[in-house]
Structures are given as structure tokens and as C-alpha cells.
Amino acid sequence: MPARRTTARGKRTAPAAEPACPVCRGSGWETESVCVGRSQRRVGTSEVICPRCLGSGIDPTPDRY
């Protein structure tokens, strides 16, 4: 009977995770202060879509390129 052949398999690694946006820290949202009146006093905050990643949470310009 011939010798049994085995194949060596390497460890499978997960693909690298996409880098998170440094502005919103990966959430896709950022807070912005709301100003009202003639003297533009600040009355609160509002959540807006991150202008850098446009809400995706992934860094559009990673340093890996």
C-alpha cells in the first residue's frame, strides 16, 4: 500500500480591518455647535455626517498606500 499523502495547510488569517476615520473615530457622525442670534451665541450641539469620510467611518486616505 502506498504511503498516505498529506498536504500542509498554513494558518488562515483574517483580512486587515479598514482603518477608522480619525475625525469621527469610525462612527460616521460628528457633533457641531449650533449658533443663533445676532451675536451668534452657542445654544447647543447637533449631530452631522462626518465631512471627511461622508458617513462611512472608514479613513479615505490611509497611510498604507
Q: Which grid coordinates belong to 36?
A: 443663533
Residue 30: how many other CB atoms lie within 10 Å: 19
Over residues 13-31, the pLDDT tens digits come to: 777 778 888 889 888 899 9
Bridge partner list, 26: none
What is the reported pLDDT for 1? Answer: 67
What is the reported pLDDT for 7? Answer: 72
- Looking up cell 495547510 gives 9
Residue 24: how many other CB atoms lie within 10 Å: 21
Over residues 33-64, the pLDDT tens digits come to: 999 999 999 999 999 999 888 888 888 887 65
Cβ atoms of residues 30 and 56 within 8 Å: no
